[in-house]
Structure formats: C-alpha cells, structure tokens
Amino acid sequence: MKIRPQRLKQGDTVGLVALSSPLKMEQLEAKTAFIESLGLHYKLGQTIGLPDGMLAGTDEERLEDLHAMIKDPEIKGIFCVRGGYGLARIVDQIDYQLLEENPKVIWGFSDVTSLHLAVNEFSNLVTFHGPMLSNGEEAMDALSAKMFQQLFSPLEIQYSEMISPLETISGGVVRGELTGGNLNRIVRTLGTKFEFNAQGKIIVLEDIKEELEHIDGMMNQLRQARKLEQAAGFVIGSFTELGKEETYEEVLGIMREYLAPLNKPVLAGFQIGHCKPNVAIPLGVEAILDADEKVLRILPGVE
C-alpha cells in the first residue's frame, strides 16, 4: 500500500511551483484566485516568474524549489502551475526519502507525469493527476474545479458515462493500482533508472500535439518493451490537437491494434488530460476498471 497524504483543510497553505517550462505571469492571477476560492493560502516558489529559456530556471533552481516545499512544515500540498518540458531533467536528483518522510499532496499533469511516476515508485506516495489551477488566464470549468474536493475528504471517484461517453475496446473487469499519464513522458522513461513500472497496473494514457504516426510508434515501443503485456488494463484519456485531419477515432484504432489482442480490459473516452473538463484522479491507489459496465472506480487519494 502506498502512503496517502493527509487531506487538506480550510486555511492550509500550499506551495505553487513551476518545475518544467516557465509560467506566463499573466496567468498567475487566475491560479492564485482559484487556490483562494478553495479556502487555501499559498506560497509562491522561487521558480514562479523565473525563466531560463525553455525552462523555469536552471535545473538546480527547480530542484531547490521542490525540496524547499517538501521541507517546509507549513506547506501541505505542492501544486505545479505549468507543464511543458523539463521535469525529467531533475528526477534523478530528487530526495525521495525526504518526501516519503514528509508526505504531502503533489498535483499536476502533462510533463508532471515524470514526477508522478518517480514519486509513486521511489517515495511510495500517492499523487494527483489534475489540471494546472486554471485554463490559461480563464477560470476553470465547473467539473474540473469540483474534482479538487477529493483533496479535502477521502472520496471514492466513480467515472461513468454520466461524465462522458465511453467506448469499450476490450471487455472485462480488473482491479489494480492506477498509474500512467502522458504517453510521451511514459515512453521517455524506458531504459532509465526511472523506467515505467506497468506490472499488474491499470495504465492511464493521454497526450497532446502528437501525430498518429508518433502515437503508433510510442505504443509499439511500449509493446516491444513488454509493458503492454505486463499491465492489467488500460484507461484511454484525451488525445487532442492531433495532426491535420487526424481524429480521436483514428487514435482508438491504434489502441485497438495494440491492446485488444491482449484480452485485458480497455476503456476509452475519458476526459482526463489535455481537455475540458480535465477530470483529476489520484495515481498510486487501487482502482477497479469495468470495461463491460463502462465504469472506473478509484479509491480515495488522501487520508
């Protein structure tokens, strides 16, 4: 069993950090306003407003920011305010023992997948795959905002067709630990110390700005690395901003080719990832995927 962080309470302080690409400062106000709407206080990390070309500061600055938030006893949760690129450059330098000894909420998605995978394995800690506190400079949609309530109370999440239409690629029911996230970032772990652990797990897959050829290539790489056969089941999230005239249905065609022959539960159509709404889920907890009844049930992510 992985460690579940303590639930947040009204009046708690959380840290806002940019551990990948730099944040556009005109977006900060919407993000801090949302945190305040949850009844939380916040501290800005040193990486907020700290550009260094394509990254929010140097590797050393971003690592120092993360460690400072972990060490700070006042900080009850760490929210990544931007994805983009760069977290994988520091995962081999993170003090995972420090985080395991000071477990707290970690929230983000996209490039933050690199952090989720590493923390789930090396700190034995549940983390949260969810939106970056706003839709750019705009307020978040209602359902995405509602999903933050799972941080304040141990709630079981049930994702069914009441949220979005779902499509069964391969039937069956399975229970396993939920993991995964951004397909590109998952594949980039292969051959490293931080190689994606798929054994007996339910894998979430989503991505953005990838052409069908690239999606096929990444799925083939996972197949040849034997990750697909090791997994217990698959949750297919959003694949947005595809190549010209390419469609989500064509993405599902690729998923059928690789996943249906495995005879494991595969359910697609989840509004998880680069989409609106972006339904937040805990990673590292047990879940039940029922591809026949078209439902995903996820145990609470906080204590």
For the question of residue 26 being annotated catalytic, the response is no
**129, containing H or E segment:** strand 127-129
Residue 180: name the closest of 151, 203, 197 by CA: 203
- Annotated active-site residue in 129, 206, 210, 238: 206
CA distances from residue 262 to 205, 218, 253, 258 in whole angstroms, order as listed: 16, 17, 15, 8
For the question of residue 74 being annotated catalytic, the response is no
- Annotated active-site residue in 110, 114, 123, 170: 110
Query: If you write DSSP's letter for every residue of 229-242 in order, what string do you get?
Result: HH-SEEEEEEEES-
For the question of residue 101 being annotated catalytic, the response is no
CA distances from residue 63 to 69, 70, 205, 220 in whole angstroms, order as listed: 10, 11, 27, 33
Give the catalytic positions in this structure: 110, 206, 274
